[in-house]
Structure 1
Amino acid sequence: MEKTEAILIGRMKYSETTLIVQWCSAEQGLFRTIAKGALRPKSAFAGLLDLFVTADIRYTPARKSDLHTLVEAHWLNPRLGMRSNYGRVLAATYLVKLMALVVEPHAPLPAIYELLTKALDFLNERDPSRAFMERFELRLAEDLGLVGPQGARGSEAAYAIEDSFHRRLPVQRKQLMTWMEQHPG
């Protein structure tokens, strides 16, 4: 049995009662678990497996695949303030998708996990801004070694990530920029 603190960054329905849940942990990196029976009304997971929640989890490692079995989850930080508006959820979704674009599954990522935790905690309290988004992109690019501490400005860091990994930036970036223009500070 493994135990870790992790942020729930994705979930999808596997069957009528079961979810596949994607997590981000400092020690384990990105990994997936199956939460059997999570959608049953009396499930031990009822109401716990929500996006952007930080939880202490226990899981049984898979022997032949990368889909582990979730055994237990307890909230550490539910980030309920994030649900106050669409912009916060959109920003969190963009940050998670950008991070997932550039990290390898099951690779420890303590600096990136800390960066994501701080960003989600910020969004729990405040609406996103262009400066916030670009600061996250810059710190992520620095952590990946793509730019130096003063090596990029503005959205240059995002495009350095795009160029280095040969993958388009998540569509949520453009959606977030539009939302921020429509909802200034």
Structure 2
Amino acid sequence: MTRMQSGRGIILRLTKLSDTSLIVTWCVEGVGLIKTVAKGARRSKGSFSGKIDLFYIADIEWVESRKSELHTLREVCPIEYHEGLRGQYRDVLLAGYFTALAEHVMEFGQSDDEVFDLLRRAINFLNTKGATLRALEHFENELARMTGIWDGRRRSNLAIEDAFGSLPRSRIECLEQLA
């Protein structure tokens, strides 16, 4: 029997699946990383029209798949749209780096509410205050501390790199934009 699940999630990534559908990668509070198929999401008059975009925070319902890690999205109710961060390229770039880095250190199906909360706070900060080098460093410091790999003595980005492999490539462009 398939199980209906629900939770509050942050959209980390959108991937085209077909002419009409998307794969949506979420960080869901109490659940962790999940991927859902949003059937018809690319249609202008579909049930998901205007409800799915990067960095949205939404209450969602999905049906778990028995056969794969790709679940079926049933309902999306956006709570926060974060229009403010879409005005500046560097804000979107840094939000993208934050989501990519969170996805990089998390494992699918493993809940980490501290990381969810950090990501939510970081995106809200960018939405109201804008991207700064200090915000980038704070996010990396907190993420490294939460994952238990950073003792505060050396740069947190190096600790993340040592523990999880190379950092998302967008970090370099973030540093250039914020210099």
The AA in structure 1 aligned to 2:47 is A
The AA in structure 2 aligned to 1:168 is S
User: 1:122-145 CA deviation, whole Å, 9 max, x = no partner?
Assistant: 000122111111111000010011
The AA in structure 2 aligned to 1:158 is N
1:152 positional shift = 3.5
Question: Aligned pair 1:163/2:162, yes or no?
Answer: yes
**Partner-residue secondary structure (3-state), 2:18:** coil
Please give the alpha-carbon distance, in whole angstroms, between the structure 2 residues aligned to 1:140 and 1:76.
24
Match in the other structure for 1:100: 103
Please give the alpha-carbon distance, in whole angstroms, between the structure 2 residues aligned to 1:152 and 1:76.
38
Identical aligned pairs, as a percentage? Answer: 38
Please give the alpha-carbon distance, in whole angstroms, between the structure 1 residues aligned to 2:89 and 2:114.
27
Matches within 5 A, 1:106-125: 106-125=109-128
TM-score where L is the length of structure 1: 0.92
Q: Which runs of 5+ in 1 are unaligned?
A: none
Match in the other structure for 2:37: 34
The AA in structure 2 aligned to 1:65 is S
Match in the other structure for 2:17: 14
Corresponding residue to 1:66 among 55, 62, 69: 69
Corresponding residue to 1:178 among 172, 176, 179: 176
Please give the alpha-carbon distance, in whole angstroms, between the structure 2 residues aligned to 1:69 and 1:120.
26
User: 1:83-122 CA deviation, whole Å, 9 max, x = no partner?
Assistant: 0110000000111111111111110010010000000000
Please give the alpha-carbon distance, in whole angstroms, between the structure 1 residues aligned to 2:163 and 2:16.
33
TM-score where L is the length of structure 2: 0.95
Q: Is the 8 A contact 1:11 1:20 kept in 2?
A: yes
**Partner-residue secondary structure (3-state), 1:70:** strand
Please give the alpha-carbon distance, in whole angstroms, between the structure 2 residues aligned to 1:108 and 1:26.
7
**Partner-residue secondary structure (3-state), 1:12:** strand
The AA in structure 2 aligned to 1:124 is N
> How many equivalent residue pairs?
176
The AA in structure 2 aligned to 1:179 is Q
Please give the alpha-carbon distance, in whole angstroms, between the structure 1 residues aligned to 2:108 and 2:118.
17
Match in the other structure for 2:140: 137
Match in the other structure for 1:87: 90
Moved over 6 A (4+): none
**Partner-residue secondary structure (3-state), 1:46:** coil
**Partner-residue secondary structure (3-state), 1:137:** helix
**Partner-residue secondary structure (3-state), 1:98:** helix
